[in-house]
Amino acid sequence: MRQVITGVAWWFILTSPVIGYAVYELVRHPYRHPDIGPHGGVIVEWDASHETVAEVVIDRQCGILTVYVLDPWAKRSRDLQTRSITLTLDAPKPMVLKLVSVPRGWYQPDWASQFSSGRVLEPGNRSEFIGTLRLVTNGRQYTGHFTTDEGRR
């Protein structure tokens, strides 16, 4: 019995710094998500309450911009009640785009987690894109800045 108690005591002594650091990181950064999203795009933090993040995907071969709305951990999609998102590109050339929703089904046309632009960019463009995402829905405002760089991936 004494060996069991000694073993448990040593286990607590040796693992307490690891457990303490894990709890500290969880409290300090409760919504830890990767920089690259599940669709290969850049993650944009755009919600002050950290309930959602957005992923900006640029299909450089077709010239299509797509935005996915995800949960705080950038794992699953999260629907928003809106039909469009405003995306402002500052570089390579300034333009304002209206991304329309791609609804999941006919039964919820106002709810979507994917927004697409259609072909708006020059296909094959390899330059860096800098921009801002904006959305106001149900009295909440979402705003986030993003930078995509083909060279860093």
- B/e letters for 42-54, b = 16+ CB within 10 Å, e = fewer, are bbbbbbeeeebbb
| Contacts (Cβ under 8 Å, ≥6 apart) of 136 | 142
Beta pairing class for 84-91 and 129-137: antiparallel
Segment 95-144, tens digit of pLDDT: 888 888 887 766 666 778 888 887 777 777 777 888 888 887 777 888 88
- Closest of 91, 98, 107, 94 to residue 134, by C-alpha: 98
The enclosing H or E element of 45 equals strand 42-45
**Is residue 15 within 8 Å of 7, Cβ to Cβ?**
no
152 falls in which pLDDT band (50, 70, 90)? very low
* Tokens 């993040």, residue located: 53
On average, the pLDDT of the chain sits at: 77
5: its two tokens? 């108690």
- Give the model's pLDDT for residue 17: 67
Q: Is 21 exposed, middle or buried (0-12, 13-18, 19+ CB in 10 A)?
A: exposed
19 falls in which pLDDT band (50, 70, 90)? low
- Give the model's pLDDT for residue 153: 45
Q: DSSP code of 151?
A: G
- Give the model's pLDDT for residue 10: 64
32: its two tokens? 């830890």
Whole-prediction pTM value?
0.72
